[in-house]
Amino acid sequence: DVLEEQSFEDGAIICKEGDDGDRFFLIKDGHAVCSKENPTDGTPVEATRLGKGDYFGEVALLTKEKRQATVKASGVLKCLSVDRMAFGRCIGPLESVLRRNLDQYSSLQELLDKGIV
């Protein structure tokens, strides 16, 4: 009842690094590319590619921090999304599972900061 289906055209930006986060996304069909800004020159660096069954947007909802990456559609992308309130109500019991992945994101940021990635 709380999931909203959204479609994005190729190249569409679903969320942008540094923006406030208010939605969690689950990929229903298609692919997305996540990138982070290189701290030395601001150019985007691809961090990962996501596909069916993958999710994004949880970091901003779990930590109330700004978006950690820019996510763009790679081809037509269909997602199921949920807003912050519904996320807390429905996904809340899974919070520990989602928080487990936060360390991976921190490691990627360290590599970017050092210019390794």
> Can you point out the beta strands (E) in the chain?
4-8, 13-15, 23-37, 44-50, 55-56, 70-83
Residue 72, beta-bridge partner list: 13, 33
Report the distance separating Cα 115 and Cα 117, nearest Å.
6
8 Å CB contact between 24 and 87: yes
Task: Quick: pLDDT tens for 84-99.
Answer: 888 777 766 566 656 6
- Kindly state the tokens that stand for 30: 């298609």
- Return the percentage of the chain with pLDDT > 90, whole number: 53
Model pLDDT, residue 110:
52
Q: List pLDDT tens digits, range 45-86.
A: 999 999 999 989 988 887 888 998 999 999 999 999 999 888
